[in-house]
């Protein structure tokens, strides 16, 4: 609703019932009804005034109504005389229409007057309601007014700031477009800067290399200058010596012949001394040559001895195969010849011991043959080998004994997935360590084997079991040839010796950490 609009009837609003109001005569002003009406008007929570007659004579007002118009005198005055500032507005015409028609009217009026401290126009809504007498004739009006200045000012403030906000949004839109364009330009600049930075980086590398070359050149130049200074000093000293010598030659010209003679004699003596020294050097060279020849002969003898030893071990292991095979055949023939009751009687343990001895002898010979074939650690380092693949291959070979023992194997070699070690030797190392974990299990306890790795130098392989364990004394002799620390199970004492030899030949090492009744952990440290 605008700040000032015509006062008009509203058919949408319900028309309140007519209020009978009789202008009180002087003699009746003190009646109970009049006093009650006066009290109603004065105590109303709205701004309320009672108007009488067509001139809208102000008869009664309450304090709120008077405060709306600056507490000026109103009672006993026609409303036009009481509010002259509204005569130019349609306010009174609308009240006249309500008085003439008897219909209630509503409206909003903005008025300006110096009342209430002169703080600007007062905005109020009002209702004009006809007052009728007993015969239904309109005799006056009840005027209800409500101060809505704060609401109007608030609406004006919102409208003003909405316009400012719209202008601000428009400015922000323009700024955003400019920022978008600027961002695109910055992106292009950033790309150019990236290319420039790369080019600068390349240039810096080239400059660094050039500076290094210049530093080397400067160092060489300084060394050359120092050498030239030394040579210049030597030349100056030589020149001074020559001048002094010339002076001496001038002064001692007469004794020159004697000096030359003496020099010749000294030169001859020096020549004779040099010839004697050369003879002595020749004798020393002959002696060194003889020593070198002896060393070469010794090396050849050592090489031949080593070859003979390897040949002996291989030949012994090979040549003994036939006798042990014959012995095994004879033992089988003996079993066939003996009656059944003899084989089941006192001779049975002896036959079992003989069979076990034959098998152990065969294993020892095979280990000796493998020991003889073990190559020295020469040549280029081996290529990296996958630990996981080798471990899986070994576990497949040991699948039957693992299943028979009810063993649980846990493999985690992700930390060091590959090591530089000969593949065949790596398989032998893992096979020996895992099979020993099965062989030396604790009675009544299923074996548990953990195969792990970690990245340290060239890599570390760990094989942990929950077997019998070892004492400190047993650990000290564990890797010796033909050394056995547990004799209640079969074995030849060669397996761990071969493992140690293979690891050390490749530049690595192996150790063990063990506790009796708890288990053992073997660690293989591979060379980088």
Give the CATH number, domain containing residue 121: 3.30.450.20
Cα separation, 51 vs 91, whole angstroms: 14
Residue 2 lies in a domain: no
Residue 181 lies in a domain: no
SS3 455: coil
CATH number of residue 508's parent domain = 3.30.565.10
Residue 255, judged by CB atoms within 10 A of its CB (0-12, 13-18, 19+), counts as exposed
Same domain, 303 and 406: no
Give the pLDDT confidence of 190-199 residue by residue, as tens digits: 788 788 778 8
Residue 216 lies in a domain: no
β-pairing verdict for 122-132 and 19-20: parallel
Boundary (domain end) residue, out of 85, 113, 147: 147
Q: Is the pLDDT reported for residue 499 higher than 60?
A: yes
Residue 130 lies in a domain: yes
Cα separation, 454 vs 463, whole angstroms: 12
The better pLDDT of the pair 465, 163 is held by 465
Cβ atoms of 47 and 122 closer than 8 Å:
no
Give the pLDDT confidence of 127-157 residue by residue, as tens digits: 889 999 989 899 999 988 877 777 777 887 8
Q: What is the mean pLDDT of residues 415-441?
A: 88
Q: What is the mean pLDDT of residues 154-168?
A: 81
Same domain, 270 and 392: no
Tokens of 326: 């014959």
Same domain, 407 and 280: no
Residue 32 lies in a domain: yes
Residue 169 lies in a domain: no
The better pLDDT of the pair 52, 229 is held by 52
Band of pLDDT at residue 377, cut at 50, 70 and 90 = very low
Per the structure, the count of domains in the chain is 3
Q: Greatest CA span in the chain, whole angstroms?
A: 182
β-pairing verdict for 460-465 and 519-525: antiparallel
Residues belonging to the chain: 528
Residue 361 lies in a domain: no
Cα separation, 514 vs 467, whole angstroms: 10
* The predicted structure's pLDDT at residue 37: 65
Same domain, 307 and 410: no
Same domain, 311 and 430: no
Same domain, 308 and 388: no
Q: Is the pLDDT reported for residue 201 higher than 90?
A: no
Same domain, 511 and 410: yes
Residues 6+ apart with CB under 8 A from 259: 252
Cα separation, 39 vs 58, whole angstroms: 16
Same domain, 134 and 63: yes
Q: What sign has the CA pseudo-torsion 490, 492, 496, 502? A: negative
514: alpha, beta or left, given left = phi > 0 and alpha = psi -120 to 50? beta
* The predicted structure's pLDDT at residue 7: 43
Range of weakest confidence among 250-254, 363-367, 457-461: 363-367
Residues 6+ apart with CB under 8 A from 366: 317
Q: Which domain holds residue 296?
A: 261-319
Residue 430 lies in a domain: yes
Cα separation, 92 vs 111, whole angstroms: 13
Band of pLDDT at residue 18, cut at 50, 70 and 90 = very low
**Number of C-alpha atoms within 13 angstroms, CB side, residue 84?**
4
Same domain, 389 and 315: no
């Amino acid at each position: 609703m605008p700040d000032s609009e015509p006062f008009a009837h509203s058919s949408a609003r319900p028309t309140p019932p007519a209020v009978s109001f009789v202008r009180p005569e002087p003699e009746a002003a003190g009646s109970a009804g009049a006093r009650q009406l006066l009290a109603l008007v004065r105590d109303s929570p709205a701004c309320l005034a009672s108007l009488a007659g067509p001139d809208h004579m102000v008869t009664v007002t309450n304090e709120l109504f008077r405060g709306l118009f600056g507490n000026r005198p109103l009672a006993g005055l026609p409303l036009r005389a009481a509010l002259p500032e509204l005569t130019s507005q349609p306010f009174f015409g609308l009240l006249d229409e309500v008085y003439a028609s008897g219909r209630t009217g509503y409206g909003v009026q903005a008025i300006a007057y110096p009342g209430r401290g002169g703080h600007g126009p007062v905005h109020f809504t009002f209702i004009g309601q006809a007052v009728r007498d007993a015969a239904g004739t309109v005799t006056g009006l009840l005027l209800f007014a409500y101060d809505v200045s704060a609401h109007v000012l608030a609406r004006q403030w919102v409208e003003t700031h909405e316009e400012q906000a719209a202008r601000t949004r428009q400015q922000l839109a323009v700024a955003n477009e400019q920022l978008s364009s600027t961002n695109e330009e910055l992106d292009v600049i950033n790309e150019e800067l990236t290319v420039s930075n790369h080019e600068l980086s390349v240039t810096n590398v080239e400059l660094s290399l050039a500076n290094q070359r210049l530093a080397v050149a400067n160092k060489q130049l300084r060394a050359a200058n120092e050498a030239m200074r030394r040579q210049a000093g030597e030349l100056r000293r030589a020149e001074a010596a020559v001048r002094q010598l010339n002076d001496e030659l001038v002064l001692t010209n007469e004794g020159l012949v004697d000096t030359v003679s003496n020099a010749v004699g000294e030169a001859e003596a020096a020549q004779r001394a040099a010839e004697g020294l050369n003879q002595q050097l020749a004798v020393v060279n002959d002696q060194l040559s003889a020593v070198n020849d002896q060393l070469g002969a010794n090396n050849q003898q050592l090489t031949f001895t080593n070859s003979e030893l390897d040949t002996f071990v291989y030949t012994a292991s090979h040549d003994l195969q036939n006798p042990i095979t014959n012995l095994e055949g004879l033992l089988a023939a003996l079993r066939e010849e003996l009656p059944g009751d003899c084989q089941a009687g006192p001779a049975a343990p002896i036959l079992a011991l003989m069979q076990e001895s034959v098998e152990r002898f065969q294993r020892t010979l095979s280990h000796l043959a493998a020991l003889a074939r073990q190559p020295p650690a020469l040549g280029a380092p081996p290529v990296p080998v996958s630990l996981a693949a080798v471990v899986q291959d070994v576990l497949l070979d040991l699948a039957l004994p693992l299943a028979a023992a009810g063993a649980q194997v846990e493999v985690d070699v992700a930390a060091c997935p590959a090591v530089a070690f000969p593949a065949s030797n790596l398989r032998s190392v893992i096979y020996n360590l895992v099979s020993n974990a099965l062989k030396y299990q604790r009675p009544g306890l299923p074996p548990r084997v953990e195969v792990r790795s970690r990245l340290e130098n060239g890599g570390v392989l760990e094989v942990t079991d929950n077997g019998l364990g070892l004492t400190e004394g047993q650990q000290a002799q564990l890797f010796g040839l033909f050394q056995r620390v547990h004799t209640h199970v079969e074995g030849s004492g060669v397996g761990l010796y071969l493992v140690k030899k293979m690891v050390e030949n490749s530049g690595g090492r192996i150790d063990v950490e063990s506790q009796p009744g708890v288990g053992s952990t073997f660690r293989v440290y591979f060379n980088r």
